[in-house]
Amino acid sequence: METYRLFIDGEYVDSTSGKWIESEDPYSGEVWARVPSGNSADVDRAVAAAKRAFEDPSWAELSATARGKLMWKLGDLINENADRLAALEVRDNGKLFAEMKAQMLYHPEWWYYFGGLADKIEGSIMPIDRKDAFSYTLYEPLGVVGAITAWNSPLLFIAWKCAPALAAGNTVVVKPSEFTSASSLEYAMLVKEAGFPDGVFNVVSGYGAQAGAALVDHPDVAKITFTGSDLSGQKIYENAARSIKHISLELGGKSPNIVFEDADLDMAAKGAVSGIFGASGQTCVAGSRLLVQDSIHDEFMDRLLDLAKNARIGNPMDKNTHVGPITTRQQYEKVISYIEIAKEEGAELVFGGQPCTVPGGAGDQFVQPTIFTNVSNDMRIAQEEVFGPVLSVLKFKDEDEAIQIGNDVVYGLAAGVWTRDIRRAMRFTKALKAGTVWVNTYRAFSYMMPFGGMKRSGLGRESGVAAIREYLQVKSVWLSTATELPNPFIIQ
Ligand code: NAD
């Protein structure tokens, strides 16, 4: 069994608690690693290291260009280690190796992009309305950033959060999910190898209610950037308010994927399948509410079921596998419970709906891709995030109804529209209340493209130029060129 240690101030150290969290391989069911259960004393150490590093000339006075070069070096190292890191992720989260490998090979782009942006953080000179003033703005880093991540793509979230945070000149303490911490702890060594000064990047594993909460409460943490469920996000938002911290929240979703009668139905069926069964539905943008125009409903369902029937469930390391296990036991039970809820609500189960076992997979955390039809929008299965391979299919008559159903949900993370009519596509991109709208595609991401939620799906944006602003604060500077001061009792 592998043993991991916390990464604080440039070295691996033991946790103060001496307690451990076991990491289970969701495919084999084996406990393959243990990671430290960090507590508030560990968070104190990590935040102190990050604060020192933030003020230390080795980081604070490093030119932005040099900061960017460190980031490029890190991107290269991640590229060289892509296979190893991808396999580690699979061991912890059970997602397909093929997907994790592709993710790891794309991952360096965040470091390259934000590395390039580091020395392009420019303030403005204001054409100020006073004859004797010279006024400008500076964009300055916030300080220590606490990055709390979810279990589905731990390393990708590090890139999304830490690349812009470090490009802006902050230092970070990462608190990965208690279920999938190994890869983040391993990643820390690459950050050191890239040449970042000690203390700039720290990782404290541990439970949310302990290490996570301590990071949120810490007075020396200037910002929390969080990816996880809306309920945890709400709690973190409330707690962070006590010390008036900056905050970004990337939360859950219940995204509508809308298929019109004029769409390329084969493409739309593929988009619907990848939208919900990719990553076994364990993605925040899962297209879990499939809205199908009633005129093509039956025909479209035939195509969808033909595709779903081909899904091969199995070992996530096998390149022929389409659907892997659910990452955690707790999440598996939640998925199964939602299938029961949907049946009780009167939704019609037309595919899957059963737990299943696969050869060699002793983890017993597999769920068949599952499709419910005759779902109405007031059912829990249409409104609540399942975070598993469970699709709800809803019918609509026309555009107005599609928009009404599409937006009638507390979340607003993403949406998909399948149509050949460009005017309809434009109307929908405007009308849908979601941070991302895909037209004739689904689950597309780029380091250049801002990503984030509306409504209960969160605050702030990751990726793109918008992301670096989340880690900067504006300072306004007034220089007076006046040679004498007017009457000090009267403000002019
Ligand atoms: P979670 O909310 O249970 O946990 C996320 C992280 O928060 C973990 O590191 C956990 O330890 C920590 N945490 C929990 N309670 C905390 C507290 N009170 N204080 C501080 N930290 C705390 O989420 P999860 O189950 O790991 O992830 C699944 C959820 O994440 C889903 O809702 C999914 O939609 C969402 N998600 C969102 C995005 C996005 O970019 N919008 C991406 C992936 C996942």
Q: What is the pLDDT of residues 257-297, one digit of tens each?
A: 999 999 999 999 999 999 999 899 999 999 999 999 999 99
* Whole-number Cα distances in Å, 459 to 226, 412, 435, 451: 10, 11, 10, 10
Residue nearest atom 26 of ligand 1, based on CA coordinates = 150
CA of 233 to the centre of ligand 1 (A): 7
Q: Ligand 1: does its nearest atom lie under 6 Å from the Cβ of 405?
A: no
Is pLDDT of 492 > 80? no
Q: Ligand 1: does its nearest atom lie under 6 Å from the Cβ of 232?
A: yes
Q: Is 162 a catalytic residue?
A: no
Q: 108 in a domain, yes or no?
A: yes
Q: Which domain holds residue 135?
A: 2-251+457-476
H/E run at residue 402: helix 399-407
Give pLDDT, residue 301.
98
Is pLDDT of 485 > 90? no
- In angstroms, the CA 358 to CA 230 distance is 32
Please identify which of the residues 24, 89, 99, 250 carries the catalytic annotation: 250
Residue 325 is which amino acid? Answer: P
Residue 13 is which amino acid? Answer: V
Please check whether residues 288 and 429 belong to one and the same domain.
Answer: yes
Structure-token pair, residue 268 = 């739309």
CA of 31 to the centre of ligand 1 (A): 22
Quote the number of domains for the chain.
2
Give pLDDT, residue 171.
98
Structure-token pair, residue 251 = 């939360």
- In angstroms, the CA 150 to CA 154 distance is 6
Give pLDDT, residue 161.
98
Give pLDDT, residue 107.
98
Question: Any residues with CB less than 8 A from the CB of 375 and at least 6 apart, and which?
Answer: 289, 342, 347, 381, 382, 392, 393, 394
Q: 148 in a domain, yes or no?
A: yes
Strands 256-259 and 289-293: parallel
Q: From the CA of 177, give the closest atom in ligand 1.
A: 9
Q: 444 in a domain, yes or no?
A: no
Q: 53 in a domain, yes or no?
A: yes
Q: Ligand 1: does its nearest atom lie under 6 Å from the Cβ of 257?
A: no
Q: What is the CATH number of the domain that holds 280?
A: 3.40.309.10
Residue nearest atom 10 of ligand 1, based on CA coordinates = 208
E strand intervals along 361-446: 361-367, 370-373, 390-396, 411-412, 414-418, 436-439
Q: 71 in a domain, yes or no?
A: yes
Q: What is the pLDDT of residues 219-263, one digit of tens each?
A: 999 999 999 999 999 999 999 999 999 999 999 999 999 999 999
Please check whether residues 60 and 89 belong to one and the same domain.
Answer: yes
- In angstroms, the CA 5 to CA 81 distance is 20
CA of 455 to the centre of ligand 1 (A): 17
User: Where do we find the tokens 């070096």?
Assistant: 73
Q: Ligand 1: does its nearest atom lie under 6 Å from the Cβ of 413?
A: yes
Please check whether residues 381 and 269 belong to one and the same domain.
Answer: yes
Is pLDDT of 308 > 80? yes
CB 289 within 8 A of CB 409: yes
Please check whether residues 280 and 411 belong to one and the same domain.
Answer: yes
- In angstroms, the CA 402 to CA 263 distance is 14
Residue nearest atom 1 of ligand 1, based on CA coordinates = 228
Give pLDDT, residue 445.
97
Q: 471 in a domain, yes or no?
A: yes
Question: Any residues with CB less than 8 A from the CB of 176 and at least 6 apart, and which?
Answer: 149, 154, 183, 184, 185, 203, 205
Please check whether residues 420 and 468 belong to one and the same domain.
Answer: no
Structure-token pair, residue 301 = 């369902």
Please check whether residues 227 and 245 belong to one and the same domain.
Answer: yes
Residue nearest atom 35 of ligand 1, based on CA coordinates = 228
Q: Which residues pair with 202 in a beta bridge?
A: 173
CA of 95 to the centre of ligand 1 (A): 17
Q: From the CA of 252, give the closest atom in ligand 1.
A: 34
Q: Ligand 1: does its nearest atom lie under 6 Å from the Cβ of 109?
A: no
Q: Ligand 1: does its nearest atom lie under 6 Å from the Cβ of 286?
A: no
Please check whether residues 208 and 295 belong to one and the same domain.
Answer: no
Test site for ligand 1: of 148, 288, 449, most ligand atoms within 8 A of the Cβ: 148
Is the Cα torsion angle 130, 131, 132, 138 positive or negative in sign?
Answer: positive
Spacing of C-alpha 296 from chain mean position: 34
Q: Ligand 1: does its nearest atom lie under 6 Å from the Cβ of 437?
A: no
Please identify which of the residues 99, 178, 284, 385 carries the catalytic annotation: 284
Residue 38 is which amino acid? Answer: G
Q: Ligand 1: does its nearest atom lie under 6 Å from the Cβ of 149?
A: yes
Q: 110 in a domain, yes or no?
A: yes
Q: Which of 469, 467, 472 shows the shortest CA–CA distance to 157?
A: 467
How many residues appear in the chain?
492
Please check whether residues 59 and 133 belong to one and the same domain.
Answer: yes
Is pLDDT of 307 > 80? yes
Residue nearest atom 32 of ligand 1, based on CA coordinates = 229
Please check whether residues 210 and 65 belong to one and the same domain.
Answer: yes
Q: Ligand 1: does its nearest atom lie under 6 Å from the Cβ of 324?
A: no
**Cα angle: 131, vertex 134, 137; to 5 degrees:** 140
Q: Is 250 a catalytic residue?
A: yes
User: For a pLDDT cut of 70, what percent of the chain falls above it?
Assistant: 100
| pTM as predicted | 0.96
Q: What is the CATH number of the domain that holds 51?
A: 3.40.605.10
- Three-class secondary structure of residue 38 per DSSP: coil
Q: 486 in a domain, yes or no?
A: no
Mean pLDDT of the residues in the chain: 96
- In angstroms, the CA 456 to CA 412 distance is 7
Please check whether residues 229 and 266 belong to one and the same domain.
Answer: no
Please check whether residues 238 and 268 belong to one and the same domain.
Answer: no
Q: Which of 381, 378, 290 shows the shortest CA–CA distance to 335?
A: 381
Residue 96 is which amino acid? Answer: L
The end-to-end CA distance of the chain, in Å, is 71
Q: From the CA of 179, give the closest atom in ligand 1.
A: 26
CA of 341 to the centre of ligand 1 (A): 23
Q: What is the pLDDT of residues 447-478, one digit of tens each?
A: 999 999 999 999 999 999 999 999 999 999 99
Q: Ligand 1: does its nearest atom lie under 6 Å from the Cβ of 379?
A: no
H/E run at residue 474: strand 472-480
Q: Which of 373, 339, 337 shows the shortest CA–CA distance to 353?
A: 339
Structure-token pair, residue 351 = 């595919």
- In whole angstroms, how large is the CA radius of gyration of the chain? 24
CA of 474 to the centre of ligand 1 (A): 29
Mean pLDDT over residues 412-438, rounded? 98
Please check whether residues 218 and 327 belong to one and the same domain.
Answer: no
Q: Which of 151, 156, 188 shows the shortest CA–CA distance to 50?
A: 188
Is pLDDT of 148 > 80? yes
CA of 149 to the centre of ligand 1 (A): 6
